[in-house]
Amino acid sequence: MERIKIALTPDHRGTNSTTFTGRTEGEAVRKTLDLSSKDNDNNKYEITIPPQTTSFNPSFYLGLFFDSIKKLRGLDAFKEKYSIVFLDTNSTIKNVLQKNIEECERKANNEYLGKTGINILL
């Protein structure tokens, strides 16, 4: 099955920003993209991150995707339905963004499993 593209745009980053940041901002983009209804269908999606993006913060990721992770019952199922693709051609930037997404996924998984804050250390 071919994935349906969903494009994050520079406008989703905010005015004059190269960074996706803020949980509230991620939640607003989630509504704009209507991800809640997409969570319920049988399609698979490719989320594209635009060129000139320099950072993708966990706060934005959680605002954008955490409800989907919960709805789909975990990060693995989420990643089957939604893949993330970087459109920047600069390999250094792509590597930075890949590390950002890995950190986002780690934080999302910890939150999903209830392993946040001090209880991670216990």
pLDDT in tens, the chain (122 residues): 789 999 999 999 999 999 999 999 999 999 999 999 999 999 999 999 999 999 999 999 999 999 999 999 999 999 999 999 999 999 999 999 999 999 999 999 999 999 877 665 55
Q: Cα-flanking dihedrals φ and ψ of residue 22, to 5°?
A: 100, 120
Neighbours of 10 (CB within 10 A): 14
* C-alpha distance from residue 48 to each of 5, 12, 69 (Å): 7, 12, 18
What pLDDT score does 1 carry? Answer: 73
What pLDDT score does 118 carry? Answer: 66
Residue 42 per-residue DSSP state = S
What pLDDT score does 111 carry? Answer: 95
What is the separation of C-alpha 100 from the centre of its chain, rounded to a whole number of angstroms?
10
Domain map (residue ranges) of the chain:
4-120
What pLDDT score does 63 carry? Answer: 99
What pLDDT score does 42 carry? Answer: 96
Return the HEC string of 80-100. HHEEEEECCCCHHHHHHHHHH
What pLDDT score does 119 carry? Answer: 61
Query: d(Cα 63, Cα 65) in Å, to the nearest integer?
Result: 6
Scan for tokens 């966990």, then name that residue. 58
Instruction: Check if the beta carbon of residue 78 is closer than 8 Å to that of residue 72.
Output: yes
Among candidate residues 119, 116, 98, 107, the one with its CA nearest the CA of residue 26: 107
Scan for tokens 């989907």, then name that residue. 68
